[in-house]
Amino acid sequence: MFTLDLTRQFEVNDAEGEHDHYVQVHCELRYEPQTSLRDLGSFDTWFIHDTDGDLGAWADSLSSRLALLEGHKPAEIILYEDPI
């Protein structure tokens, strides 16, 4: 399977508003193996707000890389949460 894992990380605070832990929520899109999808290879990328990163540039680079998925439907969609 070719897997695209969209992950969002959230901070969880305690009753006093102090940091307690983080949680990651995943949405995995799983596609049947296809030669055209192999061209995407394996990679990961993160965008962290409140840094000097350019969200628009990051999103553009990701969009162009994932353009190969256009026209493909996932065979499976898996949602899960990981405490970290």
The pLDDT mean for the chain works out to: 89
- Name the token pair of 79: 């949602």
Residue with tokens 């901070």: 11
CA–CA separation, 25 vs 22, rounded Å? Answer: 10
pLDDT at 19: 94
Q: 15: which residues sit within 8 A by CB, 6+ positions away?
A: none
Which of 44-53, 59-68, 70-79 has the highest average model confidence (pLDDT)? Answer: 70-79
Task: pLDDT band for 16, please (50, 70, 90 cuts).
Answer: very high
**DSSP-assigned letters across all residues of 32-63:** ---HHHHTT-S------TTSS--HHHHHHHHH
The distance of Cα 55 from the centroid of its chain, to the nearest Å, equals 14
pLDDT at 83: 80
Q: What is the mean pLDDT of residues 70-78?
A: 92
The total of structural domains in the chain comes to 1
Structural domain range at position 14: 2-83
Task: pLDDT band for 14, please (50, 70, 90 cuts).
Answer: very high
